[in-house]
Amino acid sequence: MHLTPLLSQLVLSRRLRQTPFEPRAREHNARAYTIYNHMPLACSYESPEADYHHLCQQVQIWDVACERQVEVSGVDALKLVELVTPRAVASSRIGECRYAPLVDEFGGIVNDPIIIRLAATRFWLSTADSDVLLWLKGINYGRGYDAQVFEPEVSPLAVQGPKATDLMADLLGEAVRELRFFHFITARLADTEVIIARSGWGGQGGFEIYLQDSARGLALWDCIWAAGEKYQIRAGCPNHIDRIESGLLSYGNDMTLANNPYECGLARFIDLHKEAEYMARAALTRIAAAGAEKSLAYLTLAGAPLSAPRTELPVLDATGRDIGILTSMAYSPKFATNLAFATVATAANQHGAIVQVEVGEKTPRAARVVNRQWQ
């Protein structure tokens, strides 16, 4: 039962907000969707495997409007953004994107957005699937800060895959090749001003284009599509197999409010001594001093291909003792085995250790603890 994701009909209404690109995803026959930030997000077109192989070789266009932005601007904007993350934000420059876990006063992860610095006192937080808008609004109100916190009319569209740079250079000129990872520029495309960042929720590289006028959504899609035809462009979406192979964690799957960043492999984004005030400092300092009891493990599971689990699967040590949970999994064509993320007891998280996972078969499946490169 664990291993069969529920596949059923999805019914949408106004509550699950329409994306500016949604008609194109329909026309290209997206076969499966999930819901993310109260919006539909396609999960596969031809099939996750066929989509994966195309993504690794060509270029795809992805409707990722569900990566909703939270704008924080005004006098206290920097103070508010610093308050909610253990990563330093003040040192980021205008034109830079910075991955930053948002952490509450107990050390729990609220979200893990990219923070985009548009101006000295203007930020977009490009969020994963939780209402960061409401959390920031609450803190801003409670603290009495002089900042505006709102959801701007912004919808990202991603261009991903090895041919993405050629495509964008055709559209915008050769200079775009020099755009560095996690940096952005502004440009005009399809008669509308967009922000173009070298980023994307995958391992194949590419760009995210931040549309600011929803009425231009289809025109923007069509303009990229036309430029992409010579590169065999297809409609695609963040690909589960590519995500796991690339080691990208997913908020809600691999970390939740019940987790602290140390147990999710995010220690490198924590600066316990950053200059600005932040609400998680005391909690994270305590956890760091005591040592996190759990930690992120990378597992390979030999044998027949396994699917993404509906819910967490129990992980046991060699003696059958419960040591944690498997949170995401995919069969990898590249590594020719099943790859998975797990949250396990730190003491049991030893490179090369053999553990067991209850995948819903008669007996647990053996798994090996590997490193971030799946070795």
3-state secondary structure of 278: coil
The token pair at 260 is: 């602290």
At position 169, the amino acid (one-letter code) is A
Contact criterion met (CB below 8 Å) for 122 and 143:
no
Among 32, 88, 118, 187, binds its own copies (CB under 8 A): 32
| Residue with smaller CB distance to its own copies, 217 or 309 | 309
Contact criterion met (CB below 8 Å) for 276 and 88:
yes
- Would you count residue 1 as binding its own copies (CB under 8 A)? yes
| Residue with smaller CB distance to its own copies, 22 or 163 | 22
Stretch binding its own copies (CB under 8 A), from 2-10, 119-127, 157-165, 270-278: 2-10
Stretch binding its own copies (CB under 8 A), from 5-13, 152-160, 185-193, 202-210: 5-13
- Burial-class residue 228 by CB neighbours within 10 Å (0-12, 13-18, 19+): buried
| Residue with smaller CB distance to its own copies, 209 or 280 | 280
Contact criterion met (CB below 8 Å) for 235 and 61:
yes
Q: Which residues of 214-224 are buried (b: 16+ CB within 10 A; e: fewer)?
A: bebbbbbbebb
Report phi then psi at 366, rounded to 5: -70, 145
- Cα separation, 71 vs 145, in Å, equals 15
- Would you count residue 167 as binding its own copies (CB under 8 A)? no
- Would you count residue 31 as binding its own copies (CB under 8 A)? yes
- Would you count residue 105 as binding its own copies (CB under 8 A)? yes
* Binders of its own copies in range 233-272 (CB under 8 A): 250-253
Stretch binding its own copies (CB under 8 A), from 37-45, 163-171, 176-184, 212-220: 37-45
- Would you count residue 21 as binding its own copies (CB under 8 A)? no
- Would you count residue 215 as binding its own copies (CB under 8 A)? no
What residues have CB less than 8 Å from 331, skipping those under 6 apart? 241, 305, 306, 307, 337, 338, 339
- Would you count residue 129 as binding its own copies (CB under 8 A)? yes
- Would you count residue 15 as binding its own copies (CB under 8 A)? yes
- Cα separation, 136 vs 82, in Å, equals 11
Using CB under 8 A as the binding criterion, the count of chain residues that bind its own copies stands at 58
Stretch binding its own copies (CB under 8 A), from 132-140, 194-202, 293-301, 332-340: 132-140
Stretch binding its own copies (CB under 8 A), from 28-36, 54-62, 201-209, 350-358: 28-36
- Would you count residue 119 as binding its own copies (CB under 8 A)? no
- Would you count residue 3 as binding its own copies (CB under 8 A)? no
Stretch binding its own copies (CB under 8 A), from 119-127, 142-150, 259-267, 282-290: 142-150
Torsion, CA 17, CA 22, CA 26, CA 27, rounded to 10: 160
Tokens 């560095």 label which residue? 180
Contact criterion met (CB below 8 Å) for 51 and 132:
no
3-state secondary structure of 243: helix
- Burial-class residue 83 by CB neighbours within 10 Å (0-12, 13-18, 19+): buried
CB of 136 to its own copies, least distance (A): 7
- Would you count residue 327 as binding its own copies (CB under 8 A)? yes
- Would you count residue 142 as binding its own copies (CB under 8 A)? yes
Stretch binding its own copies (CB under 8 A), from 117-125, 139-147, 185-193, 204-212: 139-147
Among 141, 177, 334, 336, binds its own copies (CB under 8 A): 141
- Would you count residue 331 as binding its own copies (CB under 8 A)? no
CB of 284 to its own copies, least distance (A): 15
- Closest listed residue to residue 116, CA positions, set 124, 127, 128, 104: 124
C-alpha distances (whole Å) from 291 to each of 266, 274, 296, 341, 369 are 14, 20, 14, 20, 20
3-state secondary structure of 265: coil
- Would you count residue 136 as binding its own copies (CB under 8 A)? yes
Contact criterion met (CB below 8 Å) for 125 and 139:
no
* Binders of its own copies in range 45-104 (CB under 8 A): 104
Residue 99, strand partner residues: 114
Tell me which residues touch its own copies (CB under 8 A).
1, 5-18, 22-23, 26, 30-35, 38, 40, 43-44, 104-105, 110, 129-132, 134-144, 250-253, 279, 308-312, 327-328
